[in-house]
Structure 1
Amino acid sequence: MEKRQIRSEWISDTLANPARIESDQDDPNLLHVLKPIAERSFRILRVIYNETVSPVAIITAYFDDDVKDL
């Protein structure tokens, strides 16, 4: 996530306190959690993770500039 300039604490906070939770369209084991990040001008961070394994597996995280309704 370093390459995308995403801090680990932003990912942790998004997982713990998401503004929105979405199911994955293709994989029922994956969830998408979204949250605006104040330090990045309130861009929306999307974290996709597998909740069926322990500990949860982060698949990817990125700033989703297509989300406009959050």
Structure 2
Amino acid sequence: MRPYDLTQHAKDVISERNIQVGWIEQVLELPELVEPDADDPPLTHHVGRIKEYGNRALRVVFNSRANPVRIVTVYFDRKMRGRL
């Protein structure tokens, strides 16, 4: 697992939405989809299905240029339903 850091926003949404850190690490390491951010080039989006959560798509948005990578936000992406 590569090292990462969480912004305060990411920490807040992880807590509010009961997102497990293991799920985030899973999507960071083995994404099913990788997308660049349309508005902010340093940001990368990794998306992966979480079997333990009904196969919902978890999107992890992070700054790939930071060292360690900095996770900006994490959320279950409803728009990905049926795309993975």
Q: TM-score with structure 1 length normalisation?
A: 0.97
Q: Secondary structure at the match of 1:2?
A: helix
Distance of 1:9 and 1:19 partners within structure 2: 16
Q: Say whether residues 1:3 and 2:16 are aligned partners.
A: yes
Distance of 1:14 and 1:66 partners within structure 2: 17
Aligned residues: 70
Q: Secondary structure at the match of 2:15?
A: coil
Q: Which of residues 30, 33, 37 in structure 2 aligns to 1:17?
A: 30
Is there any run of 5+ residues in structure 2 with no aligned partner, and where?
1-13
Runs of 4+ in structure 1 over 3 Å off: none
Q: TM-score with structure 2 length normalisation?
A: 0.81
Q: Say whether residues 1:61 and 2:66 are aligned partners.
A: no
Q: Which of residues 36, 51, 58 in structure 1 aligns to 2:64?
A: 51
Indicate the structure whose relative CO is greater, using CA pairs within 8 Å and at least 6 residues apart: 2
Over the matched positions of the two proteins, sequence identity in percent amounts to: 40
Cα offset, 1:2, TM superposition: 1.6
Q: Which of residues 52, 58, 65 in structure 2 aligns to 1:39?
A: 52
Alignment RMSD: 0.6
CA offsets 1:19-70 (integer angstroms, 9 cap, x no match): 0000000011000000000011000000000010111000000000111311
Is there any run of 5+ residues in structure 1 with no aligned partner, and where?
none
